[in-house]
Amino acid sequence: MKVSPSLLPLLRSRTQGELLALVLLHPDREYSITELADASGVTPTAALREVGRLVDGGILEDRRVGRSRLVKARTDTPIYRPLSDLMAVTFGPMPLLTEALSGLAGVTEAYIYGSWAARYSGEPGPPPGDVDVLVVGSPDPDELFDVAEGVSRRLGREVNVHRISPQSWAADTTDPFVTSVRDRPLTRLNLDQEA
């Protein structure tokens, strides 16, 4: 089990936060246990245990289709909206940025850095005021700006995007920005995975 999260310390674990954010921020989608496990970097057994707790608590609902168990958010409860809002401002950057950047041409890699990545990695501190994103590639600047604005609205906080070429990111450099980003916690977005 992952450690108690600095992003939202009232949750049991970072896995719980990741699962809740993914499912609650995409309320019209059903997820298999395997998809949830892959998205949160845990075994299917660990994801199944967490889903069981959340289903028992009335936060998620599930159904069986053959041998598969599909899970989705329960949107018919009074806690759905406030919990969804809370997950958006804490764990929301990963699933929302993954979804938004996966469909953007020219993006080869993307990372969250700064205070959000530090809290996500377990460093104590105040809640992050914004989300800093490093995009490696050559996406259209206007489209990248639109993506950042859209995710900012959903998160209720500013998303700052810095674009860098693949060559600059891969090079040994003394550039102060690249050095500072590499020296601090960095959370890679899995753009191959559909959110």
pLDDT in tens, 120-172: 888 888 888 899 999 999 999 999 999 999 999 988 889 999 999 999 999 99
Structure tokens at 168: 């600059």
Query: In this predicted structure, what is the pLDDT of residue 195?
Result: 41
pLDDT at 46 > cutoff 90: yes
The better pLDDT of the pair 10, 91 is held by 91
Cα dihedral sign, 166-172-174-177: positive
Query: In the chain, pLDDT over 70 holds for what percent of residues?
Result: 94
pLDDT at 118 > cutoff 70: yes
Q: Please, where in the chain does CATH 3.30.460.10 lie? A: 94-188
Task: Please state which CATH number belongs to domain 94-188.
Answer: 3.30.460.10
Pairing verdict, β 130-137 and 158-164: parallel
Q: Please, where in the chain does CATH 1.10.10.10 lie? A: 14-91
Identify whether the C-beta of residue 93 lies closer than 8 Å to the C-beta of residue 119: no
Task: Please state which CATH number belongs to domain 14-91.
Answer: 1.10.10.10
Identify whether the C-beta of residue 161 lies closer than 8 Å to the C-beta of residue 144: yes
Residue bearing tokens 């246990």: 33
Mean pLDDT of the chain: 90
The better pLDDT of the pair 5, 99 is held by 99
Query: In this predicted structure, what is the pLDDT of residue 162?
Result: 96
The whole model's pTM is what?
A: 0.79
Q: For residues 119 and 160, what is the distance between their CA atoms, to the nearest angstrom?
A: 17
The SS3 of residue 114 is coil
pLDDT at 1 > cutoff 50: no
Query: In this predicted structure, what is the pLDDT of residue 5?
Result: 59
Q: What is the mean pLDDT of residues 70-78?
A: 96
